[in-house]
C-alpha cells in the first residue's frame, strides 16, 4: 500500500488548479468554501452578499494561485484573500467610519461566560458599527496585531485600539441586555 502525505496531495492539487484543471479547482472550492463563507460572513451581515464576496474572492484565489509560494498555510492564504475582499466591499459601500479617539484609555477585557448560542453571538457582532466590527474581527477572531490592522485599514494604531475598546464595551453592554432579556428582567 502506498501512503501519500496530505501536504503532497494538496501541493499536487494546487499545481493542477494552476494549470486550470477544473476538477482540481472544484476540489479546492468544495474543501474551503464553507469555512471561507463564514470568514466573509464575519464582516458582511447579509449572507447572500457574503456568498457573493466569497465567490469573487475565490476567483481571485484561482487567478493568483500561481503566486502561492507553499511557504505557509494554504488555508491561511485563502483566508487572507477573503478578508481583504470583504474589507474592500465594505469600503466601496462607504459604510465604515473610523473616529479618532484622543481620550482613549485601553481597558482590560472582561470575560463574560457565554450562555449564548453561536447565532446570538453572531447577532451581537453583526450589530456593531462596521468599523468596530472589522477591527474586532481582525483582532479577536483573526489574530492580527493593531499595527497590521492599522496598515490594512489605512488608520492609525491608536484608532485600531480605540475601535476595539469601543467594540468590546458595546458587546459587553449588549450581552448584558440580552442576558436580562432572556432572564425576563428587562
Report the candidate in 73, 87, 72 with the shortest Cα–Cα distance to residue 137: 87
Give the whole-angstrom CA distance, residue 35 versus residue 48. Answer: 15
DSSP state of 33: H
Give the whole-angstrom CA distance, residue 57 versus residue 88. Answer: 11
To the question of pTM greater than 0.85 for the whole model, the response is: no
Q: Kindly state the cell numbers that stand for 45.
A: 451581515
Give pLDDT, residue 117. 78
How many CA atoms within 13 Å lie on the side-chain side of 74? Answer: 21
pLDDT classification of 60: cutoffs 50, 70, 90 = very high
105-146 pLDDT, tens per residue? 555 544 444 567 778 888 888 888 888 888 999 999 889 999
9-48 pLDDT, tens per residue? 889 999 999 999 999 999 999 999 999 999 999 999 899 9
DSSP state of 108: P
Amino acid at each position: 500500500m502506498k501512503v501519500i502525505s496530505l501536504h503532497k496531495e494538496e501541493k499536487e492539487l494546487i499545481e493542477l488548479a494552476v494549470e486550470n484543471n477544473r476538477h482540481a479547482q472544484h476540489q479546492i472550492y468544495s474543501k474551503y468554501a464553507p469555512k471561507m463563507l463564514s470568514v466573509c460572513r464575519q464582516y458582511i451581515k447579509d449572507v447572500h452578499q457574503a456568498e457573493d464576496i466569497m465567490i469573487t474572492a475565490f476567483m481571485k484565489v484561482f487567478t493568483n494561485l500561481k503566486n502561492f509560494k507553499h511557504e505557509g498555510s494554504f488555508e491561511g492564504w485563502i483566508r487572507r484573500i477573503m478578508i481583504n475582499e470583504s474589507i474592500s466591499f465594505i469600503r466601496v459601500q462607504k459604510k465604515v467610519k473610523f473616529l479618532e479617539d484622543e481620550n482613549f484609555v485601553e481597558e482590560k477585557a472582561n470575560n463574560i461566560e457565554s450562555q449564548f448560542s453561536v447565532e446570538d453571538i453572531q447577532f451581537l457582532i453583526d450589530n456593531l458599527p462596521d468599523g468596530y466590527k472589522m477591527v474586532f474581527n481582525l483582532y479577536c477572531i483573526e489574530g492580527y496585531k493593531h499595527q497590521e490592522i492599522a496598515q490594512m485599514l489605512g488608520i492609525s494604531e491608536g484608532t485600531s485600539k480605540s475601535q476595539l475598546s469601543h467594540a468590546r464595551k458595546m458587546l459587553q453592554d449588549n450581552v448584558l441586555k440580552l442576558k436580562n432579556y432572556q432572564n425576563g428582567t428587562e
